[in-house]
Structure formats: C-alpha cells, structure tokens
C-alpha cells in the first residue's frame, strides 16, 4: 500500500511538473569573428526568471539604471530574461530604438533577451513592410556594432504556445497575493567555432550550335546569412536570384533541345556558395575555370534579389565592345517592353577594398566583362548585412515578369534578333508553377552558410542534370584571410520555461508544517519534555 502511494505521488509530481513547464525551439543571434574581432552574441546559457516588456521605453535610457521609466511608472527587471515581441521592440523608429537590443543587454538587471517574431505565414500574407524595414535597420545596426553582446539574445516564432506564455507573464503584474512567476532554462554549452564549412558550387552548361562557341554565364549565389542564422530563408536575397537562374535554364533548355532552335552561344548557369562570405564561391569558380572557357566567355550576368519591378544593372566600367553594348541595350528595351524600371549604375572596382560589393566584381577583377542585376540601387555595407532573417516572401508575378525580361534580352543576343519578343510565348513562357515550387522549397529550410543542407544540394544537382548537358560540382572550403568571417555553432537550442511560486509561498507553506510538527512532538513527548528539549537547544 505504501509503495503504491509513493508511486502515485511520484507520478502526480511528474504530471504537475509537465503541466507547469513548456519547451520550445529558440534561435540564437549570430556569433562570429571578423579577423581578430569578436562580434555578435557571445553567450548561450540562460537560467533565471522571465519578465515581459510590452514596448521599448521612450526617452533617454541609461544602461546602468536599475529601473526604467515607462509610461510614467518605473520598471525593474530584477536580474531576469526579458521577453518582448518584435513589433513592440520596433515601436519607435528613432535611432535610440534602432539600438534597443544593445540598450537592453547593457542593463545590469537584464540577463538575456528573447524576441518573439511573427510566424512565416503571417509575414508572407500580411502587409508588414514597415516592420520588415525597421527590422532590417536593426539587423544592420547589430552588424555595424563593433561591441560584442555578452548576454544571450534569442529569437522565437510566435505561436499559440508562445502567445499564451507572454499573456501569463504579463498577468503576473496583477494584484494577486501570491502570483506565479516563470523561470527559463537554456542549458546549452557555450558555442565553439565551426571549423569545417564546406561550400558547393554548381556549373551547368547548354552547348551552342557550333563548337567552339562564345559563352554567356548566368551566375547567382544560393546560400545566405542573417543576424539569426537558423531563421535565414532569404527568399529575395538570394532565393529570387537562384530561382530565376533555374527557370532561365529550363526555358533555354526547351530551345536548345532541338538542333534547329539551338543558339549560337554556350549558356552557362552557375550557382555559387559563400555569397555572404565575400562571394567566396564566385571567386573559387572563376579561379578554377579552364583557360579555354575563360577565353570564350563573352559576358557574365549575376542575379541578386530580383523581387522588385524596379531593378538596377550594376557595372564596373563603361564597356566599349559592341557585343556588350548590344547586350545592355537589349536589357533596356526588354525592360521597357515588360514595364520594368531599369537603371544603370557605374561603380569602379576598388581593388584595395577587402570587401567585394557585388558578385560581378569578382569577375571584373579578372578583366571579365560582367554585371549584376538587382533591386538594390547601391551596395549595402557590410555585405553580410544584406540579408534579413525575416525575408520570407517574394511576389511571384513580379519575379516571373523579371525572368521573362532577362530571357528575352539574352535571346535577342544569342539569336541575333532585333528586339523581337516572340520567342517566349505560349509553351515557352516562364512557369509560375516551377517558380513557386522552388520558392517553397527554399522557404522550407535554412540556407545559412554555416550548415550544409544535403537535401537542397541534391535537389539542385538533380534539376540542373535534367535541364542542361553537363553539370560540374565543386566542393571546397573558404579561404582563411585577415578579413574572413568565422562562424559559431549552437544556433538552435531548446528553451524550457517553468511556472514557479514565489519564495513567500514556500515560507507560508513552511509555517503550518513546522507548527504541525511542533504540536505532534508535544503530543508525543509531553509539554515538560518539550520544554527541556527546547531549552537544551539554546544551552551551552
């Protein structure tokens, strides 16, 4: 009987603990080294109470305050982890709020931060342009900061479980006599450097009618990186560029599959890795390219972030060659035909700069004629900050129109047509289904540089095998340079939050227990013996 009672008591305790705790995935802010500088979030573990902040306080905030002014009242975090929704964090758009994460983590009474971001479906469906713009500015400010964050900073997707947790923590500020509180534990080891990053390039070729033939290369990097590595989807930066490349390969494969419609150029489709590592994949590809291929390479077009009807063609010099001038003219006319606003931007390559602004500059440094087509009007610096963790949506119709514009401009060159836009109609029109399918695939998993997604790599290899005559796969490790970036692990961990009673609850519970034990002792030994026992406790 006693054993049964003990068993039931243990089971009841386990069920109670399970009811009073919840576990979910959290995503740590990027930790990295640039050269000898230690940057990003340098801590992993959390163990302590949780507080909720409904918005970043207005006004001047001193980092060493024990409390902060908010709406006329004083808030103290009492050495706790602050959980806050992203929309509240970005309530204000002034400079002090852009640095709100640094402001919070610099406070003595804050042990860590958990930022609740909208789920991907909400980001894709709702009009969150202002939120995304503010968050991008926040991400960039974190990348620009030369001060490491010495407290854990995590992000979590909002869902019913997290929403309920936030509501419970907010309700703790009510007038209950003994309100519950919450305690968070993230018991993960401190992050260590990822020493063996393996990058993968794909080079696929459609051969022209007569060999040897001049070649046009279309290049796009397919991986990405953001301030929250494991949330990185980069559907526009640079999922849109990679998807456009695949769809262009599909369209020209239909033309090149017949000898009668095969073009006079070789077409090369190159997916590069390490885009946010100073275009390391493009550098490796061009370095390993055979001299015979280099000699016949007429032009390299790089695609990056094509999810806008306003694009810019970035070039490194004013080209005098007739074939390049003709190609750029075709892009201008094709853009006009498809109602796409196209501008040209000339930025000469600064060979002394450690950071490469655009992917085509890798080729320009080798005197290869090249350009980058992008929605960005100017390079974002640092380059690593160009991608956002919340980049989860691309307008399929805009991307489809841009792909058709690019395809027709290239086709007019390789088929030597005078601005004729009759090739890509009916069966040769860009496939919305194909584009949506690959955008969905890219959105399903992180394409962060620090991890090799074998499923994605296999899928890219298979589709290029199907669409082209030949596919070369290059696997390599990034170079180690004075300006190279070293990434750290522990980017996704488990957080457990427990509902706990305050210490006053234990004290109030302790008093009747002690009183009961004293009365029981008196009843057993008698009052006289109790007095003797009590006096002996205080006697010398």
Tell me what pLDDT residue 12 has. 44
Q: What is the dihedral of CA 14, 17, 22, 25, to 10 degrees?
A: -60
CA atoms lying within 13 Å on the CB side of residue 481: 10
How far is it, in rounded angstroms, from Cα 226 to Cα 447?
10
DSSP state of 29: P
Who's near 31: CB < 8 A, 6+ residues apart? Answer: 39, 40, 41, 42, 191, 487, 488, 490
Q: What is the dihedral of CA 30, 41, 386, 358, to 10 degrees?
A: -80
Tell me what pLDDT residue 71 has. 36
How far is it, in rounded angstroms, from Cα 82 to Cα 225?
26
Who's near 500: CB < 8 A, 6+ residues apart? Answer: 20, 180, 181, 182, 183
Closest-CA residue to 91 (of 66, 65, 122, 70)? 70
Instruction: Name residues of the chain where pLDDT drops below 70.
Output: 1-20, 54-77, 91-100, 124-127, 172-179, 418-422, 426, 481-483, 501-510, 539-540
Tell me what pLDDT residue 502 has. 65
Who's near 78: CB < 8 A, 6+ residues apart? Answer: 49, 51, 109
Per the CB < 8 A criterion, the answer to whether 408 and 334 are in contact is yes
Residues 140-158 as b/e (b if ≥16 CB within 10 A, e otherwise) read bbbbeeeeebebbbbbbbb
User: What are the tens digits of pLDDT across the range 433-454?
Assistant: 999 999 999 988 888 988 888 9
User: What are the tens digits of pLDDT across the range 309-325?
Assistant: 999 999 998 887 788 88
Q: How far is CA 478 from the centre of its chain?
A: 20
How far is it, in rounded angstroms, from Cα 265 to Cα 411?
10
Total-model pTM: 0.85
How far is it, in rounded angstroms, from Cα 391 to Cα 231?
9
DSSP state of 190: P
């Amino acid at each position: 009987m006693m054993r049964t009672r003990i068993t039931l008591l243990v089971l009841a305790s386990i069920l109670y603990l399970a009811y009073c705790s919840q576990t979910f995935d959290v995503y740590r802010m990027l930790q990295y080294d640039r050269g000898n500088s230690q940057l990003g979030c340098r801590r992993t573990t959390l163990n302590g109470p949780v507080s909720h902040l409904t918005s970043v306080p207005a006004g001047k905030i001193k980092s060493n305050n024990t409390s902060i002014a908010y709406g006329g009242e004083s808030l103290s975090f009492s050495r706790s982890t602050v959980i806050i929704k992203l929309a509240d964090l970005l309530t204000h758009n002034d400079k002090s709020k852009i640095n709100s994460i640094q402001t919070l983590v610099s406070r003595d009474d804050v042990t860590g931060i958990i930022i609740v971001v909208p789920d991907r479906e909400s980001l894709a469906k709702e009009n969150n342009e202002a939120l995304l713009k503010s968050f991008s500015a926040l991400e960039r400010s974190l990348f620009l900061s030369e001060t490491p964050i010495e407290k854990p900073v995590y992000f979590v997707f909002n869902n019913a479980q997290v929403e309920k947790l936030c509501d419970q923590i907010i309700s703790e500020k009510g007038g209950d006599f003994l309100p519950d509180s919450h305690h968070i534990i993230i018991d993960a080891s401190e992050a260590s450097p990822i020493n063996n990053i393996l990058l993968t390039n794909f080079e696929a070729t459609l051969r022209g009618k007569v060999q040897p033939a001049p070649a046009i290369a279309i290049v796009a990097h397919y991986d990405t990186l953001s301030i929250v590595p494991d949330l990185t989807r980069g559907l526009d930066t640079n999922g849109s560029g990679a998807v456009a490349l695949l769809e262009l390969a599909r369209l020209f494969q239909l033309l090149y599959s017949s000898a009668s419609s095969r073009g006079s150029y070789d077409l090369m489709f190159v997916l590069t890795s390490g885009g946010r590592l100073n275009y390391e994949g493009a550098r490796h590809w061009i370095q390993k390219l055979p001299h015979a291929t280099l000699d016949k390479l007429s032009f390299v077009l790089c695609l990056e972030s094509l999810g806008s009807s306003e694009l810019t063609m970035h070039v490194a010099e004013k080209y005098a060659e007739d074939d390049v001038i003709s190609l750029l003219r075709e892009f201008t006319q094709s853009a006009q035909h498809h109602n796409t606003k196209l501008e040209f931007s000339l930025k000469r390559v600064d060979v002394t700069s450690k950071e490469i602004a655009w992917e085509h500059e890798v080729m320009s440094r080798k005197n290869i004629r090249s350009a980058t087509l992008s929605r960005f009007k100017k390079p974002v610096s640092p380059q690593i900050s160009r991608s956002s963790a919340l980049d989860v949506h691309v307008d399929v119709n805009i991307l489809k129109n841009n792909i058709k514009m690019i395809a027709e401009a290239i086709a007019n060159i390789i088929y030597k047509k005078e601005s004729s836009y009759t090739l890509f109609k009916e069966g040769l029109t860009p496939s919305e289904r194909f584009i949506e399918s690959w955008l969905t695939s890219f959105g399903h998993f992180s394409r962060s540089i620090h991890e090799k997604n074998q499923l994605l790599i296999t899928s890219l290899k298979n589709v290029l095998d199907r669409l082209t005559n030949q596919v070369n796969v290059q696997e390599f490790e990034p170079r180690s340079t004075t300006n190279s970036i070293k990434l750290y692990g522990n980017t996704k961990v488990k957080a457990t939050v427990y509902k706990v009673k305050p210490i006053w609850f234990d004290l109030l519970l302790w008093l009747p227990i002690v009183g009961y034990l004293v009365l029981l002792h008196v009843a057993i030994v008698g009052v006289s013996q109790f007095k003797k026992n009590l006096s002996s406790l205080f006697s010398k």
